[in-house]
Amino acid sequence: MTAIAAYGVDNGGSAGLRLAWMGAVGVAIIAGAGIGSLVAASHGFTIVAFAFGGVVYALSESGHQATLTLARFFCFGLAIGALYMRIVPLDIAVVFGFVLFTWAVSAGWDFFSRRWRPAELPALRAIFNAMRARLLERWTFAIVLAIAVPVSYLISNATGQQKPYWAMLALVLVLRVDFHSSRKLMVERFVGTMLGVTIAALYAALLPGQLPLTIGLVLAALARWPAQQRHGALGVGAITAFVMLMIELVASSQGQAIGLFAARVVDTAIGCGVALLALLLERALYWAARGWLRATPGL
Amino acid sequence: MSESLSARSIRFAITVTAPIALNLVLGPQPGWFMRW
């Protein structure tokens, strides 16, 4: 997951710039997992921590794709730390080890191919300015996310899903302050998830065993970006198939991913459904706050 | 100069599958450092 996240914030530029962004992803995952571990013993504090994750996501949403990735993986770390495992020193070493690995592949690839990719992201100051823009909308979005993230977890948990954090992740993957972007992402996420889990489950059932699953993983990873370029849902399908095959590959018993087939789809549906309601709530809050501010001169 | 799609795909595949392969080869049991 660290390698996927670090790849996600690799926008080219100098070796130092790449390492800084990738290192920030490592810090986000460890910070999330650390906070998650601290609150794990208390259900109430876990819910508060998830709400905090929602606020962090909302406030970073308008910055840049890279800040979104940081916030999403902070939420991911939070969920893992709070729900599944307490952080130990080995986790920190593994996360930063794979930050360095991803950085070495990035820089080494460009160095040996003699095509050094220039930076494709704006200056940090411009990113922070974008995060501070449209302040009212930003805070109404933050309030809604503080409610929506715990709600998606609670619904998934209440319906007995095995991986309730998948609903939270689906939510922060599709919810944008812009309604049209959100709607597009929701459709892509849901259709792509159906596609990805179906392919992975069929593949794992027909071709079990370590070698075939490893080949399947590589094929899914290779298909990720060409599929994404063709259609967002196909890109989601490829990465979903990759994740499901990875679960099957590292599982202690055969068929674990197939057992999670329904959970992945249901959690994605919960995340997308909560995201839709959250969008409606955000618009209502925004217009109410705007009306109140206009009716209150001097504020 | 943007990266070609094939280069991007191969770099992504190396980046995300090598850690899993390493886990399987070096780990004392499946899911060694992929604990959850």
The pLDDT tens digits of the residues spanning A130-174 come to 887 778 888 999 999 999 999 999 999 999 888 899 999 999 999
* B30/A120 touch (CB, cutoff 8 Å), yes or no: no
Per-residue confidence (pLDDT) for residue A127, from 0 to 100: 87
Q: B23-36 pLDDT, tens per residue?
A: 777 765 555 555 54
- Rounded-to-integer distance, Cα A131 and Cα A108, Å: 32
Per-residue confidence (pLDDT) for residue A161, from 0 to 100: 82
- Please report which confidence band the pLDDT of residue A19 belongs to, taking 50, 70 and 90 as the band edges: very high
CB A28 within 8 A of CB A77: yes
Per-residue confidence (pLDDT) for residue A247, from 0 to 100: 85
- Rounded-to-integer distance, Cα A109 and Cα B11, Å: 7
Per-residue confidence (pLDDT) for residue A13, from 0 to 100: 94
* A214/B21 touch (CB, cutoff 8 Å), yes or no: yes
Residue-range domain boundaries for chain A? 1-133, 135-299
Q: A55-105 pLDDT, tens per residue?
A: 999 999 888 899 999 999 999 999 999 998 899 998 899 899 999 999 999
Neighbours of A27 (CB within 10 A): 18
Neighbours of A60 (CB within 10 A): 22
Residues of chain A contacting B7 with CB distance shorter than 8 Å:
109, 113, 115
CB A198 within 8 A of CB A220: no
Of B25, B12, B36, give the one whose Cα is nearest residue A210: B25
pLDDT of residue A17 exceeding 50, the answer is: yes
CB A185 within 8 A of CB A272: no
Per-residue confidence (pLDDT) for residue A10, from 0 to 100: 95
Per-residue confidence (pLDDT) for residue A152, from 0 to 100: 96
Of A183, A21, A2, A24, give the one whose Cα is nearest residue A77: A2
Q: Name the average pLDDT for chain A.
A: 92
Per-residue confidence (pLDDT) for residue A90, from 0 to 100: 86
Per-residue confidence (pLDDT) for residue A252, from 0 to 100: 61
Q: What percent of chain A has pLDDT over 70?
A: 97
- Please report which confidence band the pLDDT of residue A180 belongs to, taking 50, 70 and 90 as the band edges: very high
Q: How far is A220 from chain B (nearest CA, A)?
A: 8
- Please report which confidence band the pLDDT of residue B19 belongs to, taking 50, 70 and 90 as the band edges: confident
With CA atoms as reference, the chain A residue closest to B24 would be: A250
pLDDT of residue A107 exceeding 90, the answer is: yes
CB A4 within 8 A of CB B16: yes
- Select from A101, A117, A217 the Cβ nearest to the Cβ of B1: A117
> Is A102 at the interface with chain B, CB within 8 A?
yes
Tell me the one-letter amino acid at B20: I
* B1/A249 touch (CB, cutoff 8 Å), yes or no: no
Which helix (H) or strand (E) segment is A258 a member of? Answer: helix A256-259
Per-residue confidence (pLDDT) for residue B36, from 0 to 100: 44
Mean pLDDT value of segment A272-284: 95
CB B8 within 8 A of CB B16: no
Per-residue confidence (pLDDT) for residue A157, from 0 to 100: 92
With CA atoms as reference, the chain B residue closest to A216 would be: B17
* B3/A7 touch (CB, cutoff 8 Å), yes or no: no
